[in-house]
A and B are shown apart, each in its own frame.
Chain A
């Protein structure tokens, strides 16, 4: 019988005690794992927020945003000015277009002419040019689309086809600065040159039977689909991305930008950089908005939850270690005579020590199995409880998912991302969207930590066995 087999056997000498020890360990280990899972989930969320919108600023023409207001359009020269501001890591310009299906467009659009929004018609605010396409929108107008297109007259309106949002982009990001998720094909390559290539949203591609390599027309120009992207929303997927110069050329406004997405090097510098960019561009030229303004509190709350869960993880881990320590000390005291016997018949100290460490690991392994089950059942609830208790007083109570620009658009359309909700949808929405899923990797890491602590906890009693003298065997003889 090997040391391991003896250790396993010893762990089950007293089944009632073993069950009790495993139950106590399971609670501690389960709590530790649940806290680790919560910590990882919140950490991932914080990272996601910081990576996507946490460090971006949006620059719109002063006095105009989306399709409302007025003012002068942004220019590429202003983009260069913004890029020169300290802590700015990148500036991505966008140019928004509206693609109107040729058969349903106005007389002008069917002839291929470009319509600039004059504050009425298709483009209030002058921010968006309308061009014709042979594509059909993937979104039906429905009640909202028809209501948004109503011209003010009463009575029944004819059903309309929604326009398709096209955006010229200077990098492989969407109009909020978030990386595009291309599900098939490739990106557009060089986003700073004018090329007849396009990325098409999944639902738009499906509606028009487009695949990678298919072609379609914008303003009678043939574009090749290089990739299909998934924006995650129905509205977002009814869109087309082309390179920025291509969009500017289609709109016949080669130097104009609809918006600029300014990325700051760290979240701590966002406030100061926002002020600096605003000053550099001038308050009469540009409005700089901090997309994640209402997220700062949320991220801060999530950070608190992350810290609390990490402390709780460490505390639960230490508790498991102490439980092992105390139990093994008790077992060593209880088995002094047996240890004396083993020494009397020639067992080395390290053999006996190893036997006790392995015995403790058997108990920990059992506790870990039960603890993992507890964690998988409880981690979601624990994470929610932690988040709700830490954010109820700090999170902005925003109930609207997806403020953005969608609602301001005629036809229910808008800039890509405007109707997507997501990060701009409010802190409370974000906080409740934290999902604590038990991944094998996190569980393995947690259990490895538990075993490491258990080994430390078991080493003390194992070392105690070395101090027991073999003459203990004669005690009571």
Chain B
């Protein structure tokens, strides 16, 4: 279970204090697929970076399976990202000069998984995300956007994380490919019992998740239970 408790992140901009995340609280059950919608600049990405321990909150806490992130040293936060979090980004953020397999193997290498085991799992994951086998050893900068996002999802699943955070995962994809990616995330959530939180400004995409949060001026102002899934 993911518990977000009164999370605040503020920045100084000249004399002004900006609070892109201002007292956000919510809970996500294990294996749920949820979305956060909001306009550009509403604080979606900032909230996502706090949940993924990419950034530290000004106040508040994120508790993952009973473990509080507040006050954890950098080394422990790195371990949390490695073990418990999988990221999927709008711009994919793959390492361009590595092959698809090598990209998926990276998080496992950082987790100390033996080479043979990580190669086997990487190939299994790429099969699950339906990447053409002959493209698995191709450099990722030679793959299409949809293929790159599939590789990114496989990479996010590599260490069997508790939470996958997807930041505008369909933002750089055409509508049809975007649909496929959302269906893929949904099925992975079911199959792997992994909690997935998608940040998007696309209302149609959000409707396909079982829970949807609206972030407005740093506050989670609305929760819509779509019940469209399962």
Contacts and interface: CB of A to CB of B under 8 A. Distances in A.
B159 A1 contact: no
B110 A347 contact: yes
B58 interface: no
The majority secondary structure among interface residues of chain A is helix
Contacts of A341: 93-95
Interface in A435-477: 469-471, 473-474, 476-477
A344 B54 contact: yes
B89 A477 contact: yes
A69 interface: no
Interface stretch (B60-68, B75-83, B215-223): B75-83
A477 B79 contact: no
Contacts, number: 75
A1 B102 contact: yes
Given A343-B78, A351-B110, A473 B97 contact: no
B87 A345 contact: yes
B210 interface: no
Contact of A477 (B52, B78, B94, B167): B167
Given A345-B107, A346-B159, A9 B87 contact: no
Given A9-B98, A338-B95, A473-B93, A344 B87 contact: yes
A471 B49 contact: yes
Given A1-B102, A346-B111, A477-B45, A471 B83 contact: no
Contacts of A338: 95
B17 to A, nearest CB: 19
A10 B97 contact: yes
A349 B83 CA distance: 16
Contacts of A347: 78, 82, 106, 110
A343 B106 CA distance: 11
A1 B54 contact: no
A346 B107 contact: yes
B97 A9 contact: yes
A346 B82 contact: yes
A22 to B, nearest CB: 18
Nearest to A341: B93
Contacts of A344: 52, 54, 81, 87, 93
Contacts of B95: 338, 341-342
B93 A337 contact: yes
A346 B91 contact: no
Contacts of A17: none
A473 B109 contact: no
B90 A477 contact: yes
A207 interface: no
Interface of B: 45, 48-49, 52-55, 75, 78-79, 81-83, 87, 89-91, 93-95, 97-98, 102, 105-107, 109-111, 155, 159, 167-168
Interface of A: 1-2, 6, 9-10, 13, 337-338, 341-349, 351, 469-471, 473-474, 476-477
20 contacts: A1-B105, A2-B109, A9-B97, A13-B97, A341-B95, A344-B87, A345-B110, A345-B155, A346-B81, A346-B111, A347-B78, A348-B78, A349-B78, A351-B110, A470-B53, A470-B54, A470-B81, A477-B89, A477-B90, A477-B167
- 10 closest A-B pairs by beta carbon, nearest first, are A346-B82, A471-B54, A346-B110, A470-B54, A341-B93, A345-B107, A1-B102, A471-B55, A346-B81, A347-B110
